[in-house]
């Protein structure tokens, strides 16, 4: 194809340039598209078509079972899928798969790379019975309209439940509707727009808003790619109404009746700029805002699809692309453009013709040279024709030569990108993606799509060319390789060792050659397993190459390699993974086998798993824990468990029971005789507390107190004899007992008792605590405290008296010890008034 | 007039031309401004957490009722204002606790850590809700698990039969910037999980959090550490880096961070057992700091809310009920606090009174105002003065709370025993002291901390003595502590002498005392010359190890005060600080490591090299003003004293700053408590 001028494809609507370029001459032999139900993937995606069996067909062309054919945009057949269900209500391409929904609510997801392997889901019995009228989809889900007039949302393509949108009563069927995907809806969640007889409704899972639009009803609602505008077609008066998507601004209203016979079949946006109408007879009309139009004919039929930056027209003969001429292209090529880029482009021409005008031109745009170069680079990206891409890049390069400083990265990136785009646009590949689309969807998405078409080598080279990680490509390749090699051999046993090994070696070698560490070997092993290649899956090479435990473990479990799974999980350090294995084993194995696997005396490596089992069982399954302790002879742990459970019992009888068991359990271990004794003591204590409570007719409560608290309370309540008994039974040391009794008597304010107690024998804790403790009470008891100072060590007395506030006695005791220094200190510190006089008095006497 | 107390606001100042509009800055000028060097901005982690939460909530369409795990309230409050959640259509909030729900929104969202007990509560609530459907139609249930959704939780929900009715999602709340030099995972009981139960979940979460950190700031060029857990964590970090190239493959080596030092709590149990003696440490020990918040009398925050006993209305002698309020201890909001928190408590009183005098001067200054412009200037200052006054009131109040505690005989005897024990001085008489204190029924946590300290520093306790201690302990505080004593034994914290564990411990402590200068005699509380000021004479082992790596000379020099004693507190104006040496390996300290338990970690990590190789050389060009950050990660929690000591270390050398990261902030009490069971329930009278 030779094109004389880049503007040869241009045309105008009201001074706005549009261009229509033929991308492919179709390789297929499809005389009439109108006989098919068609769906086309966005961003240069493939075409799916199935004969519309609702149309009467000449019997001669009847070719048996219906099939869905998938073609590239250039009309090359990729694959054919037998379709035995009713007419599809929806066909939809995601990046890597084709979703087909039957009118009975069954949908299948076909992996484009392996069409025989599909997943089938049902929307449930209710929908099967009522039937599906219509559906709309986006990348991550779809909305189905049932015959009952209910909208059901299906999120993700994982077979999740359909969630009804807010009840759409009154059950008036919409005359047309459209889906706003989350990226363009104002709420960030999907939204529906539906036209009814009387108005337009906005619907989502939460609410239904009546937009109060009475220009309807509309037969078509179409939202622009950026989500900001709506095109609505009223079939009764033939008016095409364009309005902002919140209905606040009217943009235009055009009568479309003159454009064709009857009403258009499809209303699609051409980018965000214009609306295109597709007619049944193959006429395509591009409508400008004031009703001006461009039209093209593709008899007998054509299919149009709006893209983010234009429109694809697919007819039996060609695939064409229509778009508003981008600004940068306009700057370079528009007739009479005085843009620096246009001058630069011109200058290159002069230069090549060795005309001095080249220099003149460059001079004239010198200050704008950077802008000119950038614009040429940008424009290069917008050209489909390689000739013009080259020419523009060359102009940019030419301009660069005249600049002192220029960052070449944009130029280099564009050249790289164009190389990729041209490669995928090649008709055998047939992905007519534009620069805008490529940027908007990311290179990774394109690679994903190529891989799903089994174009591994191309995808790999593109990844490397663009500096992307090759692992998604490689792992897909390996899976595909396994699948293909599995299909060949009918009987797996025929395949023999050699086959498994050669496949495995091929895969590992390839990965190592490409220097890739990040590939998920587990994913590949899973594919092998799923394809009945268990040996290949378990082959040390394949699964052991997988560094990520989280990926291997589920597969190993599936393959009943429990112990390896557990070891790998432990190795990973991811405790949740260990739990996952443990819980799986617990539910699939007998208790004996379960504990056997966990026997860490056999496999010390599994200790962390054993620990986690205990942590889990302690919270969630006490019986399991007890069984485990029992069979593993863990007496100490079991004793501790009983102790803990004792503490959680609300009734004494039960607590006693647990304490008894604790004592027994500890007692079974030689190392824990002391603990056994202690548990026994605890049992004895509670028993005695119960006894006393009974004896005292439950007027007092002792149960649960510690030995100290018990004695204290007994003394506090005046049961000294019983207190003595506890003291004796538990061999409470003197010192401790004195402290308890001191505190209890003080609390009782039993000063006589305290005095008697102090006198009963020489205090093992001395008498200072008597003083300090009485002073620490609220309110303090300085008088009573002071009465014990005389029993304290002589050298402490002065200070203790001071604490009691008795400065006179303090001075006296200092005097008794002939401690002149102390006396001086007291004199210094004593507050004015009586205290001061008392100290002075003593000092005076000393002075004598 | 005491105006001369502060040279900044003396009368002479008033004769100068009025300063630029920001007059309020004046009162703050007494705080020494740190040199404006570019430092790591960890605020981005807060933003990450905040936007993750907002995103998680926005993914759920419509009005929601949020049910929050109580223990998450605090951490959440550190990353976002809980009130702001209203913007994410959160209609009502409740605490997660057993019992039916009262919901009138379409969505119910639970936000909690992935714990089994919570899943059960949630399952019960969902079931109760389903048996009694709300008129508004079916509810949408979502559980946001922090920091990640686990298979375990899914399984528990499955077992409860509600897995199909609930969406499980996650909210990645990881390292929370508590202060600009402190990151915390704010997880509780980590030491118990890891060391006692052998549940390494916190190590795994730590590894994920540190990966996120590296995503933000670059790969740690070097990872150093000590201890079994540290080794596991370091291995995990490398494992993530190598095996998940999709997420972590393209991380470049950090230019701002020179390394990560992982300190495993199990290499230093001694430090948390000691009573912390810094202001912040004391507050945590005796009042309790939770998620950087402290509960104090509301009158301290705002004296106007003081409950005024009004005799006219109530005939009863009114005992004023002082309401408690949560107060955020933050150095950003409270300049005074940033000055006080790291000080030894001994000097806090004098600092406070100094400030009080200055404030009095500032307010007093009002009488000297002559012209309108002077008035204006003063009024502009008032805002600053008032907030200073408020923080002065709060800290004076808190100090008044702590002061009597430090005067208690029991407190001082405990302290003395602790210090003698770490110094290895006459252990037997320390045991007597501990028993004495136990006879007086001092709180059991303190007693256990002391006896553990004895066991750790003394190479265990003679079997007879230990048994009789345990017997007494159980009699005094209750037999329910028996499992706790066993746990302490299992951890090697309370062992018989003569056992293999105790012998090793004994050698280790003796060696460390000598070679890591654990005990420092001549410390200066006011102008500290060594990290040991945080314990009035004991330098934490954990930080001595950090010093081995970053301040070699401090360890090697046998004399304490000569190196840089004078300008050591960072306030020494004008004097040039010595330059930090690059991060060492453990070389030269092999003998120290050999006496500590667990593995040594020393790994170099290499980031993605995408540049043409020039970058490497550029980095090697020394830049005198460049500040490098060393991250110190405490696995198993750290104390406030350790934080203070690291802050002190940050100030010693030019060019290195420490960023403290931890699984949580602990003290000896909550550490010991976490190792035991829940307290027994109240017995009911039997029928």
Q: What is the mean pLDDT of residues B289-306?
A: 77
Across the interface, of B245, B441, B471, the residue whose CB is closest to A708 is B441
- Pairing relation of β-strands A310-315 and A318-324? antiparallel
pLDDT band at A257 (very low <50, low <70, confident <90, very high): confident
The minimal CB distance from B439 to the residues A616, A636, A739 is found for: A739
What is the mean predicted confidence (pLDDT) over A411-416?
A: 90
CB B664 within 8 A of CB B184: yes
Any idea which of A32-41, A157-166, A759-768 has the lowest mean pLDDT?
A: A157-166
Question: And the tokens for B111?
Answer: 């936000």
The residue among A674, A775, A780 with the most chain B CBs within 10 A of its CB, best to mutate, is A674
Which chain B residue has the Cα nearest residue A189?
B61
- DSSP E strands in B249-380: the ranges are 257-264, 289-290, 293-297, 324-328
If you measure CA to CA, which chain A residue comes closest to B240? A548
DSSP B586-651: STT-HHHHHTSSS-EEEEE------S-SHHHHHHHS--TT--EEEEEEEET-B-HHHHHHHHHHHH
Judge whether A640 is closer than 8 Å to chain B, CB to CB: yes
Higher-confidence residue of B358 and A38: namely A38
**CA-closest candidate to residue A20, choices A302, A250, A295:** A295
pLDDT for the residue A6: 79
Overall CATH class of domain A33-164: mainly beta
Other C-beta atoms closer than 10 Å to the C-beta of A795 total 12
Nearest CB neighbour to A573, from listed B232, B679, B681: B232
Instruction: Look at residue B315 and tell me whether its pLDDT is greater than 50.
Output: no
Q: Which value does ipTM take for this structure?
A: 0.85
Peptide bond into A300 cis (omega under 30): yes
Q: Tell me the C-alpha distance between B121 and A750, whole Å.
A: 51
Q: What mean pLDDT do residues A398-420 have? A: 87
State the pLDDT at residue A116. 81
What are A63-107's pLDDT values in tens digits? 667 889 999 999 999 988 888 888 888 999 998 889 999 888 888
B514 touching A, CB under 8 A? no
Alpha carbons B325 and A673: distance in angstroms, whole number: 49
Task: Tell me how far CA of residue B469 lies from CA of A10, B436, B447, B457, B472, in angstroms.
Answer: 98, 11, 10, 17, 5
Compare all CA atoms of chain B with the CA of A579 and give the residue at the minimum distance: B152
Pairing status of strand B257-264 against strand B628-635? parallel
What per-residue confidence (pLDDT) applies to A544? 63
Are B199 and A471 inside 8 Å of each other by CB? no
Q: Nearest-CA distance from A573 to chain B in Å? A: 6
Burial class (CB in 10 A: 0-12, 13-18, 19+), A433: buried
For chain B, which domains are there?
A: 43-173 (3.40.50.2060), 175-268+540-678 (3.40.50.1910), 410-508 (1.25.40.850)
Q: Does B151 touch chain A (CB under 8 A)?
A: yes
Average pLDDT, chain B: 81
Yes or no, beta carbons of A574 and B232 under 8 Å apart:
no
Regarding predicted confidence, which is higher, A332 or A495?
A: A332
CA B247 to CA B249: how far, in whole Å? 6
CA-nearest of A465, A484, A486, A464 to A476 is A484
Best residue in B88, B243, B436, B444 for a mutation probing chain A (most A CBs within 10 Å) = B243
Higher-confidence residue: B102 or B191?
B191
Per-residue pLDDT tens over the stretch A485-536: 766 544 444 444 456 667 777 777 777 666 555 566 666 777 676 666 666 6
* Alpha-carbon gap: A518 to the closest alpha carbon of chain B (Å): 6
Most confident segment among A47-61, A725-739, A784-798? A725-739
Distance of alpha carbon A3 from alpha carbon A208, whole angstroms: 53
Chain B residues whose beta carbon lies within 8 Å of the beta carbon of residue A678? 470-471, 474, 479, 482
Cβ-Cβ pairs closer than 8 A, A with B, add up to 170
CA distance B353 to A680: 57
Nearest CA in chain B to A708: B476
A708 contact residues in B (CB cutoff 8 A): 441, 475-477
Q: Do residues B603 and B238 make contact, with C-beta atoms less than 8 angstroms apart?
A: yes
The one-character DSSP state at A210 is E
Which of A608, A640, A698 shows the shortest C-beta gap to B486?
A: A640
pLDDT tens figures, A633-649: 899 999 999 999 999 99
pTM above 0.80, yes or no: no
Cα angle value A232/A238/A241 (rounded, 5°): 30
- Does the CB of A169 have a partner CB in chain B at under 8 Å? no
Q: What are A571-623's pLDDT values in tens digits?
A: 888 999 999 999 999 888 888 888 888 876 677 788 899 999 999 999 888 99
A643, B482: Cβ pair inside 8 Å? Answer: yes
In three-state secondary structure terms, A559 is coil
Tell me whether A656 touches chain B (CB under 8 Å). Answer: no
Pairing of strands A266-270, B257-264: unpaired
Residue B567 pLDDT: 40
Which residues, other chains included, contact B48 with Cβ-Cβ below 8 Å and sequence gap of 6+? B172, B212, B216
Q: What is the mean pLDDT of residues A42-55?
A: 86
Q: What angle do CA A623, A626, A629 make, to 5 degrees?
A: 150
pLDDT for position B311: 42
- At residue A139, the pLDDT reads 87
* Number of helices (H), then strands (E), in chain B: 27, 15
DSSP A79-110: EEEE--SSPEEEEEE-SSEEEEEETTSEEEEE
Window 740-759 of A, Cβ < 8 Å to B? none
B contact residues 242-301, partner A, Cβ 8 Å cutoff: 242-246, 249
How far is the alpha carbon of B62 from chain A, nearest alpha carbon, in Å? 7
State how far residue A591 is from chain B, nearest Cα, in angstroms: 18
CB of A406 within 8 Å of any CB in chain B? no
Does residue A611 sit at the B interface (CB-CB below 8 Å)? yes
Q: Using a CB-CB distance cutoff of 8 angstroms, which residues of chain B are in contact with residue A653?
A: 686
**pLDDT band at B312; cut points 50, 70, 90:** very low
Give the per-residue pLDDT at B326.
Answer: 84
Task: Tell whether the model's pLDDT for residue B613 goes beyond 60.
Answer: no
Q: How confident is the model at residue A466 (pLDDT cuts 50, 70, 90)?
A: confident
Tell which B residues from 444 to 483 touch A, by Cβ distance under 8 Å.
467, 470-472, 474-480, 482-483
Map out the domains of chain A as residue ranges. 33-164, 469-532, 766-848
Which tokens go with A339? 């843009």
- The Cα–Cα gap between B316 and A443 comes to 79
Instruction: Please write the tens of the pLDDT for every residue from A522-550.
Output: 667 776 766 666 666 665 456 666 666 66
Q: Which residues of A touch B245 (CB under 8 A)?
A: 469, 471, 517-518
Task: Count Cβ neighbours within 10 Å for each residue of A200-225 and write b for 16 or more, e otherwise.
Answer: bbbbbbeeeeeeebebbbbbbbbbbb
Neighbours of A166 (CB within 10 A): 14
Yes or no: say if A100 and A91 are a contact pair by the CB < 8 Å rule: yes
Mean pLDDT value across chain A: 85
Mean pLDDT of B445-461: 93
A729 touches chain B (CB under 8 A): no
Q: pLDDT at residue A246 above 50? A: yes
DSSP letter for A41, please. -
- Put simply, whether A704 touches B (Cβ < 8 Å) is yes
Which tokens sit at A542?
């394949």
pLDDT single digits (tens) A776-825: 888 888 888 888 888 888 888 888 888 888 888 888 888 888 888 888 88
For the four alpha carbons of A141, A142, A143 and A147, in that order, the dihedral sign comes to negative
Question: Among A154-168, A680-694, B473-487, B658-672, which is the least confidently predicted range?
Answer: A154-168
Sign of CA dihedral B568, B570, B576, B578: positive
Neighboring chain B residues of A517 at a CB cutoff of 8 Å: 242-243, 245
Q: What is the pLDDT of residues B186-223, one digit of tens each?
A: 999 999 999 999 999 999 999 999 999 998 898 999 99
Structure tokens at B265: 């709590």
B314: Cβ contacts below 8 Å, ≥ 6 apart? none
Residue B25 in this model has a pLDDT that exceeds 60: no
Listed residue (B374, B324, B289, B264) closest to B23, CA to CA: B374
- Comparing A722 with B570, which gets the higher pLDDT? A722
Parallel, antiparallel or unpaired: strands B140-145 and B166-170: parallel
Quick check: A155 contacting B, CB < 8 Å? no
CB contact under 8 A, B475 and A732: yes
**Chain B residues lying within 8 Å of A607, measured CB to CB:** 198
Q: Which residues from A are below 8 Å from B155, CB to CB? A: 579-580, 583
Q: Does B681 touch chain A (CB under 8 A)?
A: yes
Test A674 with B235 for CB contact under 8 angstroms. Answer: no
Residue A802, pLDDT score: 87
Q: What residues of chain A lie within 8 A of the CB of B678, using their CB?
A: 644, 647-648
Least confident of A233-247, A433-447, B354-368, B585-599: B354-368
Per residue in B618-655, pLDDT (tens digit) is 444 445 567 889 999 999 999 999 999 999 999 888 88
Sign of CA dihedral B411, B413, B415, B417: negative
- In chain A, which among 535-594 make CB contacts under 8 A with chain B? 547-548, 572-577, 579-580, 583
- Which whole-number Å values give the CA distances from A835 to A149, A819, A840, A842, B597, in the listed order? 98, 18, 9, 11, 61
**Pick from A547, A583, A608: CB nearest B155:** A583
Rounded to whole angstroms, how far apart are CA atoms B105 and B93?
A: 11
* Chain B residue numbers touching A730 (CB-CB < 8 A): 475
Residues making up chain B, counted from first to last:
687
């Amino acid at each position: 194809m030779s094109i004389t001028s880049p503007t040869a494809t241009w045309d105008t609507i009201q001074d706005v340039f549009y261009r229509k370029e033929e991308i492919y001459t179709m390789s297929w032999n499809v005389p009439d598209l109108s006989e098919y139900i068609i769906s086309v993937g966005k961003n240069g995606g493939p075409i799916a078509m199935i004969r519309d069996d609702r149309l009467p067909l000449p019997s001669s062309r009847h070719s048996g079972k219906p099939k869905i054919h998938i073609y590239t945009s250039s009309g090359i057949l990729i694959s054919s899928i037998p379709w035995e269900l009713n007419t599809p209500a929806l066909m939809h391409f995601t990046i890597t798969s084709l979703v087909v929904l039957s009118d009975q609510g069954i949908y299948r997801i076909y992996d484009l790379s392996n069409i025989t392997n599909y997943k089938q889901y049902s929307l449930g019995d209710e929908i099967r019975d009522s039937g599906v009228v219509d559906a709309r989809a986006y990348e991550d889900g779809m909305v189905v309209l049932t015959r009952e007039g209910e909208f059901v949302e299906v999120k993700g393509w994982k077979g999740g439940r359909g969630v009804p949108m807010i009840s759409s009563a009154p059950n008036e069927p919409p005359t047309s509707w459209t889906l706003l995907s989350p990226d363009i809806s104002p709420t960030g969640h999907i939204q529906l727009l539906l036209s009814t007889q009387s108005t337009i409704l906005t619907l989502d899972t939460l609410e239904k808003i009546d937009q109060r639009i009475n220009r309807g009803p509309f037969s078509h609602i179409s939202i622009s790619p950026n989500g900001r505008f709506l095109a609505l077609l009223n079939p009764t008066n033939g008016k095409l109404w364009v309005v902002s998507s919140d209905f606040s601004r009217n943009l235009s209203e055009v009568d479309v009746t003159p454009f064709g016979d009857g009403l258009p079949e499809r209303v699609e946006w051409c980018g965000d700029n214009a609306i295109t109408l597709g007619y049944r007879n193959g006429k395509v009309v591009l409508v400008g805002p004031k009703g001006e139009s461009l039209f093209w004919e593709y008899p007998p039929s054509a299919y149009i699809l709006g893209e983010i930056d234009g429109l694809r027209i697919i007819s039996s003969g060609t695939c064409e692309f229509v778009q508003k001429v981008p600004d940068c292209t306009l700057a370079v090529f528009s007739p009479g453009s005085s843009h620096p880029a246009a001058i630069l482009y011109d200058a290159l021409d002069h230069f090549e013709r060795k005309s001095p005008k080249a220099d003149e031109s460059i001079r004239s745009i010198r200050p704008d040279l950077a802008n000119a170069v950038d614009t040429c680079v940008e424009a290069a990206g917008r050209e489909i024709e390689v000739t013009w891409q080259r020419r523009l890049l060359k102009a940019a390069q030419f301009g660069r030569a005249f600049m002192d400083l220029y960052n070449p990265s944009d130029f280099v990136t564009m050249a790289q990108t164009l190389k990729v785009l041209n490669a995928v646009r090649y008709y055998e590949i047939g992905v007519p993606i534009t620069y805008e689309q490529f940027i908007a969807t990311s290179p990774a998405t394109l690679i994903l799509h190529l891989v799903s078409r089994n174009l591994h080598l191309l995808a790999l080279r593109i990844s490397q060319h663009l500096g992307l990680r090759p692992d998604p490509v490689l792992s897909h390749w390996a899976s595909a390789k396994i699948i293909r090699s599995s299909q060949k051999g009918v009987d797996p046993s025929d395949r023999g060792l050699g086959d498994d090994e050669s496949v495995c070696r091929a895969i590992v070698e390839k990965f190592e050659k490409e220097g890739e560490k990040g590939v998920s070997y587990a994913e590949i092993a899973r594919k092998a397993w799923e394809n009945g290649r268990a040996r290949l899956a378990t082959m040390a090479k394949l699964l052991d190459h997988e560094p990520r435990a989280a990926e291997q473990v589920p597969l190993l479990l599936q393959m009943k390699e429990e112990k390896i799974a557990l070891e790998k999980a432990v190795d990973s350090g991811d405790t949740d993974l260990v739990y996952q294995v443990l819980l799986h084993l617990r539910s699939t194995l007998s208790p004996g086998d379960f504990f056997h696997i966990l026997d860490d005396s056999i496999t010390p490596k599994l200790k962390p798993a054993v620990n986690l089992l205990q942590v889990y069982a302690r919270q969630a399954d006490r019986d399991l824990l007890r069984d485990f302790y029992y069979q593993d002879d863990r007496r100490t742990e079991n004793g501790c468990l009983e102790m803990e459970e004792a503490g959680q019992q609300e009734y004494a009888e039960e607590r006693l029971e647990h304490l008894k068991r604790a004592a027994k359990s500890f007692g079974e271990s030689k190392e824990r005789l002391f603990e056994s004794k202690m548990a026994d003591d605890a049992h004895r204590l509670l028993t005695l507390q119960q006894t006393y409570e009974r004896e005292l007719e439950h007027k007092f409560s002792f149960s649960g107190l510690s030995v100290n608290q018990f004695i204290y309370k007994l003394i506090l309540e005046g049961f000294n004899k019983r207190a003595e008994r506890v003291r004796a039974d538990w061999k409470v040391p003197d010192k401790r007992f004195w402290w308890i009794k001191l505190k209890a008597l003080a609390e009782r304010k039993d000063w006589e008792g305290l005095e008697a107690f102090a006198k009963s024998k020489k205090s093992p804790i001395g008498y200072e605590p008597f003083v300090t403790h009485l002073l620490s009470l609220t309110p303090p008891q300085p008088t009573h405290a002071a009465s014990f100072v005389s029993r304290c060590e002589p050298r402490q007395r002065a200070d203790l008296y001071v604490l009691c506030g008795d400065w006179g006695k303090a001075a006296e005791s200092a005097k008794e010890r002939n401690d002149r220094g102390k006396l001086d200190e007291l004199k210094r510190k004593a507050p004015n008034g009586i205290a001061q006089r008392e100290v002075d008095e003593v000092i005076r006497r000393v002075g004598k | 007039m005491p105006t001369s107390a502060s040279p900044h606001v003396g009368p002479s100042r008033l004769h100068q031309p009025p300063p630029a509009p920001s007059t309020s800055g004046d009162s703050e000028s007494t705080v020494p401004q740190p040199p404006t060097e570019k430092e790591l901005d960890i605020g981005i982690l807060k933003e990450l957490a905040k936007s993750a939460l907002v995103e998680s909530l926005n993914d759920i369409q419509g009005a929601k009722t949020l049910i929050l795990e109580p223990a998450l309230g605090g951490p959440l409050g550190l990353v976002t204002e809980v009130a702001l959640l209203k913007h994410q259509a959160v209609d009502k909030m409740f605490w997660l606790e057993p019992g039916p729900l009262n919901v009138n929104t379409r969505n119910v969202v639970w936000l909690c850590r992935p714990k089994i007990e919570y899943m059960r509560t949630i399952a019960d609530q969902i079931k109760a809700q389903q048996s009694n459907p709300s008129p508004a139609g079916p509810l949408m249930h979502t559980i946001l698990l922090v920091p990640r959704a686990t298979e375990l939780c899914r399984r528990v929900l499955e077992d409860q039969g509600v897995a199909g009715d609930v969406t499980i999602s996650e909210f990645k709340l990881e390292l929370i910037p508590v202060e600009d030099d402190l990151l915390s995972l704010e997880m509780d009981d980590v030491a118990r999980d890891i060391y006692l139960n052998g549940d390494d979940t916190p190590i795994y979460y730590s590894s994920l959090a540190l990966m996120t950190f590296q995503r933000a700031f670059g790969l740690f060029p070097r990872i150093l550490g000590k201890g079994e857990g540290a080794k596991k964590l370091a291995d995990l970090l490398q494992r993530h880096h190598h095996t998940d190239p999709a997420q972590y493959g393209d991380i470049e080596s950090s230019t701002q961070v020179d390394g990560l030092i992982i300190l495993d709590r199990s290499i230093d149990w001694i430090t948390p057992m000691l009573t912390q003696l810094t202001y912040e440490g004391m507050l945590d020990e005796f009042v309790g700091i939770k998620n950087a918040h402290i509960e104090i009398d509301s009158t301290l925050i705002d004296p106007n809310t003081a409950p005024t006993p009004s005799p006219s209305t109530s005939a009863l002698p009114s005992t004023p009920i002082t309401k408690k309020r949560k107060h955020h201890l933050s150095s950003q909001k409270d300049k005074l606090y940033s000055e006080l928190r790291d000080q030894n408590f001994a000097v806090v009183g004098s600092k406070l009174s100094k400030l009080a005098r200055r404030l009095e001067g500032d307010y007093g200054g009002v009488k000297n105002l002559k012209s309108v412009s002077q008035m204006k200037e003063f009024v502009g200052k008032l805002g600053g003065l008032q907030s200073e006054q408020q923080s002065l009131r709060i800290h004076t109040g808190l100090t008044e709370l702590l002061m009597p505690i430090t005067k208690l005989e029991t407190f001082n005897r405990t302290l003395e025993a602790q210090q003698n024990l770490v110094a290895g001085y006459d252990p037997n008489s320390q045991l007597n002291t501990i028993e004495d204190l136990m006879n007086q029924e001092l709180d059991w946590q303190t007693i256990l901390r002391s006896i553990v300290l004895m066991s750790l520093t003394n190479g265990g306790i003679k079997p007879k003595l230990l048994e009789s201690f345990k017997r007494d302990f159980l009699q005094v505080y209750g037999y329910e502590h028996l499992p706790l004593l066993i746990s302490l034994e299992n951890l090697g914290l309370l062992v018989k002498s003569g056992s293999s564990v105790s012998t090793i411990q004994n050698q280790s402590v003796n060696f460390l005392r000598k070679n890591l200068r654990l005990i420092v005699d001549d410390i200066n509380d006011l102008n500290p010359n060594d990290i040991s000021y945080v314990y009035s004479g004991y330098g934490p082992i954990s930080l001595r190890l950090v010093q081995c790596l970053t301040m070699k000379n401090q360890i090697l020099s046998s004399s304490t005060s000569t190196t840089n004693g004078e300008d050591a507190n960072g306030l020494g104006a004008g004097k040039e600080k010595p330059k930090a040496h690059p991060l060492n390996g453990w070389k030269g300290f092999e003998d120290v490591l050999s006496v500590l338990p667990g593995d040594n970690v020393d790994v170099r990590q290499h980031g993605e090299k995408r540049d043409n190789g020039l970058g490497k050389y550029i980095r090697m060009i020394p830049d005198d003003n460049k500040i490098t950050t060393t991250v110190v990660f405490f696995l198993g929690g750290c104390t406030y004293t350790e934080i203070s000591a690291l802050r002190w270390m940050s100030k010693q050398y030019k060019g290195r700053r420490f960023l403290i990261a931890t699984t949580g902030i602990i003290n000896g009490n909550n550490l010991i408590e976490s190792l035991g069971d829940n307290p027994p329930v109240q017995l009911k009278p039997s029928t």
